[in-house]
Chains A and B, each alone.
Chain A
Amino acid sequence: MDLKDWFANRQKRRQQIDEVKTPLTTEEYCALWKQCFQCRELLYTRDLHSNLNVCPKCQYHFRVGAELRIEQLLDPNTFVELDANLQSADPLGFVDTEPYPRRQQEAMRKSGLKEAIITGTGKIEGQPAAVGVMDFDHFGGSMGSVVGEKVARLIEHAELKRMPVILISSSGGARMQEGILSLMQMAKTSAALKSFGDAGLLYISILSEPTYGGVTASFAMLGDIIIAEPGARIGFAGRRVIEQTIRQKLPADFQTAEYLLKHGQVDMVVERSNLRNTLSALIDLHTRTEQEQARPAKGAGSAQKAITTR
């Protein structure tokens, strides 16, 4: 080796060492560690992940993104996505402090998703189900035309294949940037569920942190069975709006899953670790035996009668 090369190599080595020594950015630290919102414990992200995003110390349920949720809930490699090619348009040409298309791009970058919901079919402990999972990190999980359309198509697909539907909600409400068309998605999804329900099929709604506004006031509250995740905040109007309207402080646990359970609004509060088992048991309970299949679904029967007798 030439002496000159040796010096050159030494310089290169030093550069490499310097690169390793560069301290991690805050963002990188945040990716590695997460502080529990409830007990303030510092949690190693990988541990948190393997514990289904639940704090091992205080059982606080962190929000789960749509992709991760699918991974947690369904049998491995059974998920087939539907309608992945749907994307929002800008029907109003909406501009607030920024134009809507730019906000969409921002949301896509932040969540890595095209829209605030992923829909598809998969299996839960071997039982097929149509599943829709909302992602709060994409545009606050807001329901615009695409979310409404994807939910409606999922329900229609499930009706055709006679599968149960499971929808996991997490949303701030309707998407203002699509104006009245967002509001109409409440009608669209509810109407799709009506026809699905009349066919005698099972719909399980899971409410996760947070579920508000137009989503709560449409498909989220229409489940044959409604399950809430521990600590999730669920409601129609936001806490602040209510406090301003009635001019008094609300109880600390107002609008939490446990509060809703106490007030008869949900069937059960299920911990994330038990969610898969619970769903599987519920689907199994509603699978008709051959004998039961001979009986027509109640809804379909009465609707048919009402139509033919008039």
Chain B
Amino acid sequence: MPPVERKIVPLEFEKPLAMLAQQIEALEKQLAESQSPDLDVDLQRLHEQYDVLRRSLYSNLRPFDHLALARHEQRPYTKDYFQRWDPSWIELHGDRKGADDPAMVGGFVRLSDDLKVLAVGIQKGRTLRERQACNFGCPQPEGYRKALRLFQHADKFGMPIVTLIDTPGAYPGMTAEEHNQSQAIALNLYEMAGLTVPVVAVITGEGGSGGALAIALANRVLMLEHSVYSVISPEGCASILWRSSDKAADACTAMKITAREIKELGVADEVIGEPLGGAHHDYDAAATTLKQALIRHLRDLQRMTPFQLREDRQNKYRKLGAFVES
């Protein structure tokens, strides 16, 4: 849980805005000490300037800036959403095969009085200790197997599934390979294709490659305004194609990773707006907007029969791709 009065850490591109905010603060302090009408006018002008700059800054973000926002350390994480949607949500643990991966969380969440879902998501961890336990949001094979167990539970009881995705990618470690990370991801894709309940996936932060897709094979894919979704991390792409990880900004632009671009490519179905400046400025507002969108999509999907839901999901992915047939 983040503290209520937390100071927002400005990102590199937000520095001019932060400087202006500092000036305003200084001026306000002066004003409190000496009542002078001159300062009052100045202050008002600065406030106006701040608003203009803020609006223009966030409406002209480069893909690299979206990436920075998606990775912001104060961004709301999966459990922050679950907690706000349903303070009495019930968490489930374990893959039943030998482990419980804290990077993958899941349980029963009541979105409204008559809409209960099985929600699963990737957790990055807030404190350093939590982050280490979660491998900074990189699930192990055990995490994906836990998610699959929960999906199968939902399928059995006819419960809709909501997944939240925020990961740099599946964990690339020695034990992860030994425990067959690839098979864990592949099996999730295989089984998710056969689910007979509504599935809605939301990319809330980073949608990193196969590690993200492994819980995102859904009927509807939503993306938060500043989230990104990519086939490889921009740093990875840059170091392979440009032979330098400094070119990550170029890779971001070339790969088309922002929510709006992913929607244009037909992969995402809707872009969900965030509070100005990003979801970390107002957890409650971000959670409410997302919840409303989820309810809307789930209600829509609930009109389909189990068979139709499966067909709908398989058709969605069957159509994706770009090629020429001569």
Chain A positions within 8 Å of B, measured between CB atoms, are 85-92, 94-97, 145-146, 148-149, 152, 173-176, 178-188, 190-195, 197-198, 213-214, 216-222, 235-237, 241-242, 245-246, 248, 250, 254-255, 263-265, 303, 306-307, 310
Contact = CB atoms under 8 A, between A and B. Distances in A.
Contacts of A89: 322-324
A145 B230 CA distance: 15
Interface string B160-196: 0000000000111110111011110111011101101
Contacts of B265: 91, 179-181
A307 B322 contact: no
Interface stretch (B64-72, B103-111, B254-262, B280-288): B254-262
A242 B213 contact: no
Contacts of B231: 174-176, 178-180, 182-183, 214
A236 B187 CA distance: 14
B210 interface: yes
B88 to A, nearest CB: 28
Interface stretch (B17-25, B26-34, B235-243): B235-243
Most chain A CB atoms below 10 A, which of B170, B210, B265 = B210
A221 B314 contact: no
Contacts of B183: 221, 265
* Interface residue SS majority, chain A: helix
Contact of A181 (B182, B257, B306, B322): B322
Contacts of A307: 196, 305-307, 310
A202 to B, nearest CB: 15
A286 B4 CA distance: 62
A176 B173 contact: no
Given A190-B193, A222-B186, A92 B323 contact: no
B158 interface: yes
Contacts of B230: 179-180, 183
B103 to A, nearest CB: 14
B41 to A, nearest CB: 50
B240 A176 contact: yes
Contacts of A218: 185-186, 189, 210
Given A92-B254, A96-B254, A236-B181, A217 B217 contact: no
A268 to B, nearest CB: 16
A86 B229 CA distance: 26
B185 A245 contact: no
B262 A152 contact: no
A218 B190 CA distance: 8
6 contacts: A94-B254, A97-B241, A97-B242, A194-B314, A217-B170, A237-B181
